[in-house]
Amino acid sequence: MGLFGKTQEKPPKELVNEWSLKIRKEMRVVDRQIRDIQREEEKVKRSVKDAAKKGQKDVCVILAKEMIRSRKAVSKLYASKAHMNSVLMGMKNQLAVLRVAGSLQKSTEVMRAMQSLVKIPEIQATMRDLSKEMMKAGIIEEMLEDTFESMDDQEDMEEAAEMEIDKILFEITAGALGKAPSKHSRHLDRFAVIDAQAPSCTKASPLCCSFLTLAGSINTDFRAVTRKTKTEKENSLIDILS
């Protein structure tokens, strides 16, 4: 406590170091969560294989959807690690600025990363507290959370679940059932990696950013061209499992 009962504010350097420590701690938490989800996914995958051998197609669909959800969760957690790395780099830059200017400066890179991190349920509470501290210190401005979700998420999950069933059946029966991964699905997997990398490319060259934008649009086109109607997909799945 300072004079007249006021709390003495911490020096900027100490604040930045504390924020960096909290970010690193949350990264370790995320790593543990990724490992836990991946272990559970392996159990579910074995259950899918067992159900496929018994001809339990409904069970296969339900469990395959669980695998898709877990993989999407892992993908989001990896993206959150990339954003946390961006914040750590921003903290290093703040220390460099502090040595020269004697004060902390606003950072749009840190703000963008924090906007993404406060949406991750697993680390949301800590990231919100950090955001408030950074706003108070003047590094970022007040953030408005984007609550809109993609309308295609459910349909994409249906497609992904069916493709996963095809791949698992193909693997178990040595090609007697299911389908081998098609060329266009492998292309979509590659573009998915590019999509995950795009948010962390805050300091990339204009050419790199243009490429990522083009790749993302091609990814969308691939999904639009290869998407089947619901009836066609159901008939295809019944033929495979019959």
How far apart (Å, rounded) are the C-alpha atoms in residues 222 and 228? 12
Band the pLDDT of 12: cuts 50, 70, 90: confident
Section 168-184 average pLDDT? 62
Most confident of 8-17, 114-123, 170-179: 114-123
Please, what is the average pLDDT of the chain? Answer: 73
In the predicted structure, residue 235 carries a pLDDT above the cut 70 = no
3-class SS of residue 179: coil
Residue 86's alpha-carbon distances to 79, 145, 166, 214, in angstroms, are 11, 19, 38, 23
Q: What is the pLDDT of residue 214?
A: 47
Tens of pLDDT, residue by residue over 193-233, are 444 444 444 444 444 444 444 444 444 444 544 444 444 54
User: Which among 89, 86, 154 is positioned nearest to 115, based on CA atoms?
Assistant: 86
The rounded distance, in Å, linking the Cα atoms of 192 and 79 is 12
Which among 131, 122, 126, 113 has a CA at the least distance from the CA of 30?
Answer: 122
Average pLDDT over residues 112-127: 89
Shortest CA distance to 71 belongs to which of 27, 35, 37, 119?
37
The alpha carbon dihedral of 129, 132, 137, 143 has a sign of positive
What tens digit of pLDDT does each residue of 47-56 get? 888 888 888 8
- Are 116 and 199 in contact, with CB atoms under 8 Å apart? yes
Spatial distance between the Cα atoms of 88 and 95, rounded to a whole number of angstroms:
11
